[in-house]
A and B are shown apart, each in its own frame.
Chain A
Amino acid sequence: MESLLAVQGQDFVLTASSSSAVRGITVLKPDDDKSQILNSHNLMLYCGEAGDTTNFAEYIAANISLYTLRHNLNLSPEATASFTRKQLATSLRSRKPYQVNILLAGYETNLGKPELFWLDYLATCVRVPYACQGYSSFYCLSIFDRYYKPDLTIDEAVRIMKLCFDELKKRMPIDFKGFICKVVDKDGIREINI
């Protein structure tokens, strides 16, 4: 029972990941960060099979920094998504596929625009303005559908995110122990309190 949310605004992407780490019926940790920084302007949120998730995220992060060292080239969000998809697609038809679902939030520094990608463990990759992973999609996608607009400011995005948290608190039978929220924009990645 994990939950990832993200919404893209006019010049940023706001992300949130549930902060409880759960195994079976036990909460192991109330402040688990389900995100991995890939480079200065790319953030990957992940959920799925415990073990696969962190292993895969670190594998992608390491390979992206290796590529940057070799070619002296910072990967764009689209390139990052493309690389991640290829790795997942190869893994899908292997003996033991990674079971990881991903939201990739990034800021394209050359064009000056934010980008958000939704990937599942089958390696379906799609560019979206807002996205959810996990059961929260049943509740939050409709809220995003209702309140999203392309020129969203950070304050408006935070307000929409709050609506999502309230809805999850109200309608879901489990406690996510709050959410860790991050913003990706031209200045890089930073954590914010909502």
Chain B
Amino acid sequence: MSIMEYNGGSCVAMAGKNCVAIASDLRLGVQSISLTNNFPKVFAMGDKTYLGLTGLATDVQTLYELFRYKVNLYKFREERQIQPKTFANLVSSTLYEKRFGPYFSFPVVAGVSNDNTPFICGFDSIGCIDFAEDFIVSGTATEQLYGMCESVYEPNLEPDDLFETISQALLNAQDRDCISGWGCVVYVITADKCIKRLVKGRQD
């Protein structure tokens, strides 16, 4: 048993035309026992910057609290919102601080920059950044998500089409993973607004 698969959960991010989407499942469990179907793994770090955290649930919560604190201080100091690219580097250096006793989480960052360019990236548990133009996957349904994304993703999607694509990718991937699922939450971020949608999924 891997510690990354103790609680279960998956996250995916996709880039579209001047927009990005990030989604996660809602399950939290202890191995095969499900505890709740209301445990979103995507968190707002600014108006147009979002963070997805999968892996060990305690580190998901600890990292969320840590980044919320760091981003709030950044806002006070700089009097502006943090940019996705800047935040990605903050995540990277924060994770590498714990190089020899890491947080057991593989984060995903998705956002739209001030110049309206979409930005997505993923990390390993010690902060190595994986920049991507198309999509980033993370969590216990990683293999299934890669399969779904490789087959349904296409570049330059409009926000509504991107929502459909990412939702189908995640819903169908998590149906093939025992420890992800129980519905999902999807954020679609464009230059002027962000839409959060709760998508119902199989409750088994």
Contact = CB atoms under 8 A, between A and B. Distances in A.
Contacts of B38: 127
Interface in B1-49: 7, 28, 30, 33, 35-36, 38-39
A124 B57 CA distance: 6
A138 B33 CA distance: 8
A89 B28 contact: no
Interface string A132-170: 000001100100000000000000000000000000000
B116 interface: no
Given A85-B61, A89-B58, A89-B62, A126 B101 contact: no
A131 B101 contact: no
Contacts of A70: none
B112 interface: no
Interface residues of B, number: 14
Contacts of A89: 58, 61-62
A32 B28 CA distance: 31
A127 B58 CA distance: 14
Interface in A97-125: 118, 120, 122-125
Contact of B62 (A123, A126, A131, A138): A123
A92 B33 CA distance: 22
A167 to B, nearest CB: 16
A122 B39 CA distance: 16
Contacts of B62: 89, 123
A37 to B, nearest CB: 25
Contacts of B56: 122
Interface size class on chain A is 10 to 19
B58 A118 contact: no
A93 interface: yes
Contacts of A172: none
A128 interface: yes
B61 A137 contact: no
B59 to A, nearest CB: 9
A92 B61 CA distance: 13
Given A93-B101, A120-B30, A126 B58 contact: no
Contacts of A118: 35
9 contacts: A85-B61, A89-B58, A89-B61, A92-B58, A93-B101, A123-B62, A126-B28, A127-B36, A128-B35
Interface of A: 85, 89, 92-93, 118, 120, 122-128, 131, 137-138, 141
